[in-house]
Structure 1
């Protein structure tokens, strides 16, 4: 009989547990580990396992907000950030290598979290010690985590292996599945999560996905697929919950208690966000890691747009101005006031605005766009151009997405890609640009381990 062990590190601080994806061998578990029979016979331990996944997402890899995150890497690839440190500069210059690129960590950390989610789902089915309400809640969160990670994998790499179990032998031979198949699985997982999760959050704050979180990713997924009706449908589910979710002041959006937040990741105890620690510049010049491109900081915003002074700051050194994002305002403090925001209400307004415009409902699309413009303190579209054409309205929506969502979750990079604008925008400002670069290279180490995985074109 095949035996598979899940290695779980129990954090003595009580912050949760983490499944580590190692080759499976039949040995006694280490003293600081638990086998599944123990983990999944207790509501508290099983819940700690799922919380441990969020802890790892917040601290490491693609979801963290620091140097190796999707927010940083994609902002460098697009037209938002300049890179200074060697590995980051290579991304900025589109000189990415499948052997050593920092983008490899996006792949690795995503598949680790997918493994974790699969381990949760399998453990919940194998053991019977979890009460039904907790089991259903944890299943919903695991389905969501798997879908969330696959959403970014398929958009960053194109066809990718589809891992739906912890079976190492099966996963080690997996081939790259077509993009449409990955999206089908994302939607399937999200529909499963939708059935499991409630409107209310499972714990204090908004640090565990709920039904609205699932709807937020469904809305975004359908937008990327060009399914405008469903994109509108799922964003509307959230926007109609106006007692739970509200647009808040520009300085309040990224606070731990923000009513605009749909889902956020809680930083490690005693710290604020990795993004704030990483992005806020001090007097060191040139910056150690990244800065905002001057052309973005100086030209992307309309006159009197309140987002610019609220979200863009600068330092002047040796006659050169260096700009940086200031959405997260705490670089270092023992007082924790900010969490990493993953989904927020403003994006849902912009998703619905675009979906409505694509369906020729221009008046309603303008209303959604104006909700964002009104907060920014700039003239409303229904006042300055109520008869705007569909084509120009879609351009205006993309421009609004650029300034509202900059430096968040690779949004600009993925918008350029899904709208077929990458080469037109990036070729003039990036001498090394090639159209193949809309996808990142598959890590060479993965290809060497699994000969069924083929490389992306251009690498």
Structure 2
């Protein structure tokens, strides 16, 4: 199987090296080497999947892993310098977001990829001699990827230009569609993909889309659309094309439920399941919880997640320690019995890292934790892994909160400096589908069903049932569960945005860590700020601007109001 995977990746690398070939319509699509060979078509599709690497490990939009989590209350980037500290600049200065320099933008890259995908679909439909069934399967993969690209534009800009053919792209005369139309278009792509993709793939085709992957992203799409309809209500932007009518929220929640329940049906058939060992989900690629992921192979396709996030004692003087968990995240993990952790509780405060839920130990590296054969010392003055007060050093490359991020690290990788890393990135997993389903059920007033779905996940994580009963209480429970279950998987920033809570949770506030002092007879935990400036998120930022250069290129596009 390993040989098949390597051959598959080598084929992909060969295709990627040839990406400079610009296939244009009518005069080059008849080249036999492309369209008369199913193998060549297959390689073309493989090449389209490289777009997912733009977003692996939460790297978008700044090029650093966990970048968007670093904009939130769950992670603090350590650097104060330009470059490594760009996340902190964007998190604390709303004036950095302008039409000239949007701060977060995917527009140009997205439409470059969309053009490639539309070229592929056009050539497939007009010049390929493969069977109709195979054409549909190839088109389904292309539209799965296109739906994903457009989904990112919807996350950032809300309203975008819909282009589903070659003529629409080259004419540059299209204005933005409404946000509602945009989400419906994305849903159409994922629905088509779900209809024509297989339920499972051979091991040699790991990383290719499946029915379950398309259904999962369809459920995610409808949940986002429902969230905009539920919570935006045109409070933050008067642009006529942004926002979704509030009366559509219930329908879109129902759509999310239908898609998510179809994934649950696949799980009931044995295709997916929740894993008992939470930590192994992120270090063991072949697990039932993974629905769509990117795999890596040593020496061929690798990443540098460990280099960026291991405690510095793993590679003294070399590890970067880009970001570390905040106290806000650490304190959110429950006790093993499901009760809330509370520093005001004397027993909790005396031993804050004992008797916590299993996800805490899989997600957080704390003072006294065992890691790669050593006991971590994250105290003030604790040596290689010790605490540094934020602002005292421009590039500390140590924890500024008293914690390190464990989740997604490979505990067995001791050669990441030389050989980089190969643990998988999971774009979507079964736990998220259950959270989508639960949220959609709760917010569409199916409270009993939503609570039951949420408890399935909690019970698998070793936690008791939630006791919440009302819509408001259960929605708070969902927010909490997503925060801890999906930490460092690139969801927190976008969740707070779609719930229209970012301007509440991420504005006019400084997040914290714990400065731990070793008293000899025990430890003293001092709460300290880990931001040097207040965070800033204003309502205008829910719809980020289209880059000015794109407005100048296509005069038919109207800028999002307010920018």
For normalisation by structure 2, the TM-score amounts to 0.69
C-alpha distance after superposition, 1:413-452 (max 9, x if no partner): 2222222212111123244332111233322332232233
Kept in 2, the 8 Å contact 1:402–1:412? The answer is: yes
Which one of 305, 317, 332 corresponds to residue 386 of structure 2?
317
Kept in 1, the 8 Å contact 2:191–2:215? The answer is: no
Q: Kindly indicate whether residue 154 of structure 2 is the aligned counterpart of residue 154 of structure 1.
A: yes
Q: 1:427 corresponds to which residue? A: 507
Q: Kindly indicate whether residue 296 of structure 2 is the aligned counterpart of residue 251 of structure 1.
A: no
Which one of 234, 238, 248 corresponds to residue 263 of structure 2?
238
Q: 2:522 corresponds to which residue? A: none
Which one of 474, 480, 495 corresponds to residue 393 of structure 1?
474
Instruction: Give 1:137 deviation, angstroms.
Output: 1.4
Instruction: Give 1:298 deviation, angstroms.
Output: 2.5
Kept in 2, the 8 Å contact 1:66–1:274? The answer is: no
Query: Which secondary structure does the structure 1 equivalent of 2:148 belong to?
Result: helix
C-alpha distance after superposition, 1:176-197 (max 9, x if no partner): 2211111121122122212221
Report the CA distance shift for 1:96/1:317 in structure 2 as closer, same or farther (over 3 A): farther
User: Whole-Å Cα distance in 1 between the matches of residues 215 and 179 of structure 2?
Assistant: 21
Q: Kindly indicate whether residue 89 of structure 2 is the aligned counterpart of residue 62 of structure 1.
A: no
Kept in 2, the 8 Å contact 1:155–1:414? The answer is: yes
Instruction: Give 1:375 deviation, angstroms.
Output: 3.1
Kept in 1, the 8 Å contact 2:306–2:420? The answer is: no
Q: 1:92 corresponds to which residue? A: 91
User: Whole-Å Cα distance in 1 between the matches of residues 171 and 325 of structure 2?
Assistant: 40
Q: Kindly indicate whether residue 493 of structure 2 is the aligned counterpart of residue 441 of structure 1.
A: no
Instruction: Give 1:167 deviation, angstroms.
Output: 4.0
Instruction: Give 1:319 deviation, angstroms.
Output: 4.5
User: Whole-Å Cα distance in 2 between the matches of residues 335 and 422 of structure 1?
Assistant: 34
Query: Which secondary structure does the structure 1 equivalent of 2:463 belong to?
Result: coil
Q: What is the 5 A alignment of 1:88-127? A: 88-93=87-92, 94=94, 95-100=96-101, 103-104=104-105, 106-127=106-127
How many residue pairs get aligned? The number is: 436
Kept in 2, the 8 Å contact 1:63–1:70? The answer is: no
C-alpha distance after superposition, 1:186-241 (max 9, x if no partner): 12212221222121226636411111111101111222222222212211111122
User: Whole-Å Cα distance in 1 between the matches of residues 422 and 87 of structure 2?
Assistant: 28
Which one of 433, 450, 457 corresponds to residue 372 of structure 1?
457
User: Whole-Å Cα distance in 2 between the matches of residues 76 and 35 of structure 1?
Assistant: 47
Unaligned runs of 5+ in 2: 1-7, 227-251, 336-355, 367-377, 379-384, 390-398, 510-533
User: Whole-Å Cα distance in 2 between the matches of residues 54 and 144 of structure 1?
Assistant: 10
For normalisation by structure 1, the TM-score amounts to 0.84
Q: 1:136 corresponds to which residue? A: 136
Instruction: Give 1:275 deviation, angstroms.
Output: 4.0
Q: What is the 5 A alignment of 1:5-404? A: 13-16=10-13, 17-18=15-16, 37-58=32-53, 61-63=54-56, 65-66=58-59, 68=62, 72-83=66-77, 84=79, 85-93=84-92, 94=94, 95-100=96-101, 103-104=104-105, 106-167=106-167, 170=170, 172-201=172-201, 204=204, 206-226=206-226, 227-242=252-267, 243-248=270-275, 249-254=277-282, 255-267=284-296, 270=299, 271-282=301-312, 288=320, 290-303=322-335, 304-313=356-365, 316-320=385-389, 321-322=399-400, 323-330=403-410, 332=416, 338-381=423-466, 385=467, 388-404=469-485
